[in-house]
């Protein structure tokens, strides 16, 4: 794996995160390539990671076992079309991290015989604590399956989906999910300030509480509902707060919000597929 050539088409934040994670996992920087049209960003990739960086997509993709398409969704049809013949001749695995771009459309642009993995990472990948869902088309073989998983595990946990239709739900849950927690943190910090805490104290208590709760949930064999019940004493302060959240119908509100996100993800897929 350490000498496998992996090419990133696009050198933005997610590509940088994956490159950093792969190098930390022992992948040789010399076997990582990036195609990035911006000269300053290209030089920064070379300086920061020691990777090979090119202005031209085809040069970067030459001989690559895996090609990570890390460009904006609106550019996917164009970029895929330009690289299609080369990817087929090399039998490269294609991994797409473009939100909303379906594997069938990628196959239409690249060729039906191309091995494609669609990935939905989230922004905590930038600090190696991401959550990524993967879906493989029927062309992907066992070795390519393992390669895709290894690449994305460099920035966090990975789950495989048996049905690509579930990707819209993943987008609503983990793809957009960090923003929900940031919004909750905003609200908790503001509430703390309204109760008399200074902004910095309210912020620190909010962030450490969020981190601690997430760590407890990850390390516990119990589900979130059980953990909540365990720390909610009848008639106590936590119970008083939870009663207000339930009265405000927080759970149905989350369901409504995530449904809206999933529906928008599906609509984006339709729009992008029309290209």
> Domains plus CATH for the chain?
6-163 (3.40.50.720), 175-265 (1.10.3730.10)
Give the Cα separation of 30 and 79 in Å (integer). 24
pLDDT of 47 above 70: yes
What's the mean pLDDT in 216-243?
95
pLDDT of 274 above 70: no
Q: What's the pLDDT band for 271 if we cut at 50, 70, 90? A: confident
pLDDT of 275 above 70: no
The pLDDT value recorded for residue 48 is 94
What's the mean pLDDT in 219-242?
95
Give the Cα separation of 19 and 8 in Å (integer). 9
The pLDDT value recorded for residue 222 is 96
Percentage of residues in the chain having pLDDT higher than 70: 99
**Neighbouring C-beta atoms of residue 80, cutoff 10 Å:** 27
Percentage of residues in the chain having pLDDT higher than 90: 89
pLDDT of 241 above 90: yes
What's the mean pLDDT in 198-203?
98
What's the mean pLDDT in 168-175?
95
What's the mean pLDDT in 256-260?
96
pLDDT of 3 above 80: no
What's the mean pLDDT in 231-255?
95
pLDDT of 183 above 90: yes
pLDDT of 167 above 70: yes
pLDDT mean across residues, the chain:
94
Q: What is the pLDDT of residues 102-123, one digit of tens each?
A: 999 999 999 999 999 999 999 9
Lowest average pLDDT, out of 31-35, 61-65, 271-275, goes to 271-275
């Amino acid at each position: 794996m350490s000498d496998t050539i992996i090419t990133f088409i696009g050198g933005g934040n997610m590509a940088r995160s994956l490159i950093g994670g792969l190098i930390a996992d022992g992948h040789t920087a010399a076997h990582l390539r990036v195609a990035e049209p911006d000269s300053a960003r290209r030089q920064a990739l070379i300086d920061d990671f020691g990777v090979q960086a090119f202005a031209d997509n085809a040069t970067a993709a030459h001989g690559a076992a895996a090609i990570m398409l890390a460009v904006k969704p609106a550019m996917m049809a164009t970029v895929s079309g330009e690289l299609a013949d080369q990817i087929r001749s090399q039998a490269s695995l294609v991994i797409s991290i473009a939100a909303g771009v379906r594997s069938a459309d990628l196959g239409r642009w690249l060729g039906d015989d191309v091995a494609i993995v669609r990935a939905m990472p989230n922004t905590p990948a930038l600090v190696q604590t991401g959550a990524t869902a993967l879906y493989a088309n029927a062309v992907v073989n066992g070795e390519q399956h393992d390669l895709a998983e290894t690449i994305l595990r460099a920035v966090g946990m990975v789950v495989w989906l048996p049905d690509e239709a579930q990707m819209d739900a993943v987008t609503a849950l983990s793809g957009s999910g960090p923003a929900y927690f940031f919004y909750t943190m905003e609200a908790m910090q503001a509430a703390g300030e309204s109760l008399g805490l200074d902004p910095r104290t309210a912020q620190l208590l909010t962030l450490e509480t969020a981190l601690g709760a997430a760590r407890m949930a990850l390390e516990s064999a119990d589900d979130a509902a059980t953990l909540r019940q365990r720390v909610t004493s009848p008639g106590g302060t936590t119970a008083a707060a939870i009663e207000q959240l339930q009265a405000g119908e927080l759970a149905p509100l989350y369901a409504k919000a995530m449904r809206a996100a999933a529906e928008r993800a599906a609509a984006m897929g339709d729009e992008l597929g029309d290209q």
